Chains A and B, each alone.
Chain A
């Protein structure tokens, strides 16, 4: 598996050269966003209000971290990915309108996101689900937090990261969707397995 070390902001060239199965490590800035933050981004867009963060060439991380407030800043205790499927509703619009180049999550995303990745030059990569300490270790500093009124898990956390990964490319900008292919293959085996189990004749 080819391994890439990329720095933010990401360029379209960086992204277009990635293929499903590749491993990526990110250094720079990543921004967390879950359901509520995605919803608000699109509301702001509709109302013509600017976002509190610049997402051009940026990395969005589907994550609701465990954080502890210190005297001057925040300490990230654990920060693994959350299930990306919930953001499928919004992600294509977010990629299209804010120039995001990379989405980090787990569990896979659907065809709308995959199409947006192809059209606008973005990728969906997965961080191992549950590997929260591995993720937190690569987060060097909390640069800021926005929309904290949404609650700690749902806020936009701006993280300064160093070699954040391993991230595995699950949707590339060429139209390949690795997890969805694996699930389709599994579905194709359903009938044969149910026959063997005596469910179907």
Chain B
């Protein structure tokens, strides 16, 4: 039992402060340190790459990751658009304050880390300079049993985002369309999204649902995890092999590793539509998670 010894500070204020602190820590961690699964995948790619040109890029990537850790600086100068993927316990006592705490955290992290000011008004071109704005940071809400708040912060880079796409093939084409769209998306993206990338594919739902499923699959799901649906798991393996056989390689210089992984997710669809979304995540797959308990204790992890 935690007693809130507060001087003019309510339990909600207290939790707001904790959520903000946890979010700042998670943004900082995500920006500077690559998650272990991604680091491991890059190391393995470096070790088994045979193309000299591609290997030189993987070497520079690993050197850069190490330097960022040592100097505590952002891995990449594009510190992204900040996304929060939440899992909120129905009984978490601070639901009311989460959104405000996230926005404050982004403003403070922008100064402290520092982050590059990346939010631009698409109409006026103005940049508020603090990485916030209309609907950003983006917060994806999911609810679950319990009284904790769990969230994953994703600083999503623009170079890889710019080559994503959404298509509505004729439903009769089914999975054949998915395969074609993914292969063509990789060919069109070429070296632009900083390969080796992680590809997220969202199928079904509507255009919006397919896209958010693709984004979550690319940015949040860990490398080395298997999709629980065996058919999807098989499709992922099949496409992983095929894409890497294209030989685009690190930074498009030719090599074995065009992607580190491909993650597919689906939702049931309307009979008349078959949305397919493809989202690219650059090699600098940055994410960190936090769990905030109802009593105000929290931890940040990757």
- Contact surface of A with B, Cβ cutoff 8 Å: 1, 21, 23, 63-66, 68, 77-80, 82-83, 85, 106-108, 126, 128-134, 136-137, 151-153, 166, 168, 170, 178-179, 182-183, 185-187, 189-190, 193-194, 196-199
Q: Which of B73, B76, B77, B176 has the most CB of A within 10 A?
A: B77
Let me know if B75 and A130 touch, CB within 8 A. yes
User: What residue of chain B has the Cβ atom nearest to residue A186's Cβ?
Assistant: B246
Let me know if B127 and A66 touch, CB within 8 A. no
Residues on B with beta carbons closer than 8 Å to the beta carbon of A166:
56, 60
Known: A66-B115, A131-B61, A166-B56. A186 touches B75 (CB 8 A): no
Q: Which of A107, A126, A189, A196 has the most CB of B within 10 A?
A: A107
Q: Which of B52, B64, B247 has the most CB of A within 10 A?
A: B64
The 0/1 profile, CB within 8 Å of A marked 1, for residues 179-195 of chain B is 11001100100111110
Let me know if B53 and A134 touch, CB within 8 A. no
Known: A64-B116, A78-B73. 8 other contacts (CB 8 A): A78-B116, A80-B78, A83-B162, A128-B57, A130-B78, A132-B64, A134-B63, A166-B56
- Judge whether B136 is part of the interface by a CB distance below 8 angstroms: no
User: What residue of chain B has the Cβ atom nearest to residue A151's Cβ?
Assistant: B127
In this complex, how many residues of chain B approach chain A with their Cβ under 8 Å: the count is 52
Let me know if B187 and A80 touch, CB within 8 A. no
One of B5-13, B99-107, B249-257 contacting the partner: B249-257
Let me know if A128 and B179 touch, CB within 8 A. no
Let me know if B53 and A168 touch, CB within 8 A. yes
Within the complex, what minimum Cβ distance (angstroms) separates A139 from chain B? 11
Let me know if B67 and A186 touch, CB within 8 A. no
- Judge whether B159 is part of the interface by a CB distance below 8 angstroms: yes
- Judge whether B74 is part of the interface by a CB distance below 8 angstroms: yes
Within the complex, what minimum Cβ distance (angstroms) separates B24 from chain A? 17
- Judge whether B152 is part of the interface by a CB distance below 8 angstroms: no
Let me know if A196 and B60 touch, CB within 8 A. no
Q: Which of B56, B75, B76, B114 has the most CB of A within 10 A?
A: B76
Known: A82-B78, A133-B75. A153 touches B116 (CB 8 A): yes
Tell me the bound Cα distance from A126 to B253 in angstroms. Answer: 10
Known: A83-B162, A186-B246, A193-B183. A134 touches B64 (CB 8 A): yes
Tell me the bound Cα distance from A66 to B183 in angstroms. Answer: 34
Let me know if B64 and A168 touch, CB within 8 A. no
Let me know if B67 and A134 touch, CB within 8 A. yes
User: What residue of chain B has the Cβ atom nearest to residue A84's Cβ?
Assistant: B192
Let me know if A182 and B71 touch, CB within 8 A. no
